[in-house]
Structure 1
């Protein structure tokens, strides 16, 4: 599954199935592993085909193998989670009638909207992203290479679905060792006073963590 932030909303990539089963229903994109592929290679290939980019954070989410989850046969799915900044409009593959970005709020609120057990996979992926924002610099995956603290805060607010105090947030990110590195430049792209630009630092674990509450 692929998550991105578009127009200040957390969105997931979905396709409308053009073939049975669940023809006409929305589903998370995916495909079968080729005979000569390793699982990560298959995930990268599917991601490139669906989003036309490989510059994303990609990690294994989980394994789903409940009997009956696919009416055609016994299918075990190894789900991967991809996270990136504003991605381009998707292009539907050969077995999809349509592809688009949908807000996760819309998808989660209607469990039967997604085919198979993809609602479960989606909710697992959303919670993984939200949790990882607490203790890793994953939020920068949703940002441009250079970003302001306000832009980073907007990512946290969008993914977590909460409002954060700007001063308190600035204090926390500044206090997390190795989280942000100043570029020495500023921007006025959002108007107002010039804002300092940062890029992701070398930290892999945030200390102290950015807790949701």
Structure 2
């Protein structure tokens, strides 16, 4: 029996998911945006998104959109907010649930779908987007900053092996402000969640910078004992 049989006269709306996809590449925080193919606003800049299929959960729909457009799955993704202004979509009454995702660009180098004109752009390069997608990005940045302050999600954007300057650079990009070099180093090492490797990054100097790896097991053990992650 259809749902309308139980709720006669109820208004039906379209439900969509939109994905704010963050990446970190060459010292810059970037966003993946596309040229929209369907009407309205064919050819305009947009976030990646799609409608929720029958029998599909919101999380599954967001994961599908991400997989179809980037070829990636099993990456960090979290629900952001529901956007339901009556006139938010000029094509019809559409309620959108936004998700933000974090991708390691340098490791995955995703093979983007040829059906989309997709581009990684820095925060400063983002053009005007359709509908309320600009607000979604602003909200996602605020959530990313809040989350990164007390949770180690920043490591989802870095390669497995990284230097402390790379890590500091990432957080400077997330917060969009400079961080004190000595204080940052002291703070992150004091938490004892990084494994120092017998390797160095010599891309910026002959001496090189020590490489580290985030120790997820150690982090879990320490948080269970009351340690608070804070950057």
TM-aligned CA distance change 1:72 to 1:196, over 3 Å:
closer
Secondary structure at 1:83's aligned position in 2?
A: strand
Secondary structure at 1:30's aligned position in 2?
A: strand
Secondary structure at 2:162's aligned position in 1?
A: coil
Whole-Å separation in 2 of the counterparts to 1:132 and 1:84: 16
Matched, 1:163 2:178: yes
Aligned CA-pair RMSD = 2.1
TM-aligned CA distance change 1:209 to 1:199, over 3 Å:
closer
2:228 corresponds in structure 1 to 207
Matched, 1:114 2:129: yes
Whole-Å separation in 1 of the counterparts to 2:80 and 2:173: 21
Secondary structure at 1:182's aligned position in 2?
A: strand
Larger radius of gyration between Structure 1 and Structure 2: 2
2:109 pairs, out of 82, 85, 88, with 88
Superposed displacement of residue 127, structure 1: 1.2
Whole-Å separation in 2 of the counterparts to 1:41 and 1:93: 22
1:177-192 paired onto structure 2 within 5 Å? 180-190=193-203, 191=205, 192=207
Task: State whether residues 15 and 92 of structure 1, in contact with CA within 8 Å, keep that contact through their aligned partners in structure 2.
Answer: no
TM-aligned CA distance change 1:167 to 1:126, over 3 Å:
same
Q: How many aligned residue pairs are there?
A: 202
1:42 corresponds in structure 2 to 61
Q: Give TM-score scaled by structure 1 length.
A: 0.85
1:15 corresponds in structure 2 to 34
List structure 1 segments (4+ residues) > 4 angstroms apart after TM superposition: none
1:134 corresponds in structure 2 to 149
Task: State whether residues 184 and 197 of structure 1, in contact with CA within 8 Å, keep that contact through their aligned partners in structure 2.
Answer: yes
Matched, 1:148 2:163: yes
1:26 corresponds in structure 2 to 45
Q: Give TM-score scaled by structure 2 length.
A: 0.79
Q: Deviations over 1:177-209 (max 9, x none)?
A: x5x231542223434245142224343677252
Query: Where do 5+ consecutive residues of structure 2 fail to align?
Result: 1-19
